[in-house]
Amino acid sequence: MQKIIIKKGRERSMINRHPWIFSGAIQTLPKAELGEILSIYTHDNQLIGYGFYAPGTQIVCRVFEYTKQEINVLEPDYWIQKFQKAFLLRKRFIISKHTNAYRLINAEGDFFPGLIADVYNDVVVVQLLIKGTENLADFIIKALNSLGFEKIYLKTKEVTGRLENVGRKKGWISEKKGNTQIEIIENGIKFLVDIESGQKTGFFLDQRDARQLIKQYAKGAKVCNTFSYSGGFSLYALDAGAELVHSVDSSKIAVQLIEDNLKLNNIAAERHQSYAEDVFKFLKNTDNKYDLIVLDPPAFAKTAKAVPNATRGYKELNLIAFRKINPGGIVFTFSCSQKITRDLFRKIVFGAAADARRNIRILHQTTQPPDHPINIYHPENEYLKGLVLYVE
Ligand code: SAH
């Protein structure tokens, strides 16, 4: 195995177990291939870990193991153990007879940079985000088989795929194939997940806890669930006894999924209305007032450069919601932009509240659920933040 050697004085971030090594910290770059597994050494020849190589990029090495002892990371057993540890965490805290959909591998959050694996009932949807994990595809299939998963579907993001030259595309990578429309259960509520044409790997698993929280506030309420996708928050609100729910999403495919999910859960048609519209337009034009509004937009800031525009977008959205909420109403507001920090998000919502001139109090602050763990040495992995607000 080839070595990468860290410059003298540049070991700090490695001592702090940060999983990314930047090109400026490297003393000697080996002549290895993109995606190759390398051992990482200090300038005085001490082993510190192993990672995936990406020459010519800013993050030249993504560390998946910090260790002073040599480990055989080229054997499937090593990777099987990684999966077992991740599975154990989910078995202890997530999987139950009421929930069979969860993130099994959350990239750096499970010490596995470049890999996302989401479980939908008996199907695993895998995203290979870098060449390093693409090279491991056979080990990954083996590891998943050893945990009892036989149906494995690959869905690599196009952008990242191109950046790292990941060649494999969409499709089943296991011998056994399944249906690409899968029925799952989450906190006792059924959903249809379309792994082929749905967004992300098919479902927004990261909002499971926030969706559960809405049940405390939905009874008897008139609810507007914006950016509703397949109706996650809507179905929870209806299950908790909301009087009426409006779901708004600009995607017709998403609205069709909501309709399917309402049927699947036997919800009476008169309790729900879908709108395939732009949320900003819908909220501005509606004469309705609501007791509960959910704002769960897509990431407005995908890059640091986009932060100022995104800030304006979040502020405008929250402000319109504060104008449409009944006194004593509740607003669930979220940002999944990694570049918008928790502090900044709160300041933005503060700005909208001040403009709306209403008394607003924070009842809860939400984050990612435990199947999206954040590696403490890698705060970049924390992207989802939410506030539950009481609006007088
Ligand atoms: N709350 C959802 C996830 C929301 S994902 C859940 O719990 O599952 C964001 C959604 O916003 C996507 O479905 C996307 O189609 C929709 N969307 C993006 N921009 C929009 C806009 N301007 N108006 C309406 N919907 C929009």
Q: What is the pLDDT of residue 91?
A: 98
Q: What is the pLDDT of residues 71-92, one digit of tens each?
A: 999 999 999 999 999 999 999 9
Task: With cut-offs at 50, 70 and 90, classify the pLDDT of residue 161.
Answer: low
Please work out whether the CB of residue 134 comes within 6 Å of at least one atom of ligand 1. Answer: no
Distance of CA 295 from the midpoint of ligand 1 (Å):
9
Section 186-197 average pLDDT: 97
CB of 159 closer than 8 Å to CB of 165: no
Q: What mean pLDDT is reported for the chain?
A: 95
217 has a pLDDT exceeding 60: yes
Please work out whether the CB of residue 229 comes within 6 Å of at least one atom of ligand 1. Answer: yes
375-381 CB contacts, 8 Å cutoff, 24+ apart: 375/19, 375/108, 375/109, 375/110, 375/111, 377/16, 377/17, 377/18, 377/19, 378/18, 378/19, 378/20, 378/108, 378/109, 380/108, 380/338, 381/106, 381/107, 381/108, 381/109
Section 168-189 average pLDDT: 94
Section 249-268 average pLDDT: 97
Quickly count: other Cβ atoms within 10 Å of residue 80's Cβ.
18
Distance of CA 287 from the midpoint of ligand 1 (Å):
22
Distance of CA 350 from the midpoint of ligand 1 (Å):
23
Distance of CA 12 from the midpoint of ligand 1 (Å):
40
d(CA 44, CA 15): 14
Q: What is the pLDDT of residue 163?
A: 65
Give me the domains of the chain, ranges plus CATH numbers.
3-66 (2.30.130.10), 76-181 (3.30.750.80), 204-391 (3.40.50.150)
Q: What is the pLDDT of residues 353-368, one digit of tens each?
A: 999 999 999 999 999 9
182 has a pLDDT exceeding 90: yes
83-89 CB contacts, 8 Å cutoff, 24+ apart: 83/143, 83/144, 83/146, 83/147, 84/146, 84/147, 85/110, 86/110, 86/112, 87/147, 89/370, 89/371, 89/373
Please work out whether the CB of residue 233 comes within 6 Å of at least one atom of ligand 1. Answer: yes
Distance of CA 359 from the midpoint of ligand 1 (Å):
28
Q: What is the pLDDT of residue 15?
A: 84
Task: With cut-offs at 50, 70 and 90, classify the pLDDT of residue 164.
Answer: confident
Pairing of strands 325-335, 385-391: antiparallel
Distance of CA 298 from the midpoint of ligand 1 (Å):
6
Section 170-191 average pLDDT: 96
158 has a pLDDT exceeding 70: no
Neighbour-count burial of 89, counting CB atoms closer than 10 A to its CB (0-12 exposed, 13-18 middle, 19+ buried) = middle
Q: Which of 199, 249, 280 to mutate to test the pocket of ligand 1 (most atoms within 8 A of CB)?
A: 249
Ligand 1 atom 10, closest CA: 227
More confident residue, 316 or 168: 316
d(CA 314, CA 367): 17
Q: What is the pLDDT of residues 30-43, one digit of tens each?
A: 999 999 999 999 99
d(CA 130, CA 33): 13
Q: What is the pLDDT of residues 124-146, one digit of tens each?
A: 999 999 999 999 999 999 999 99
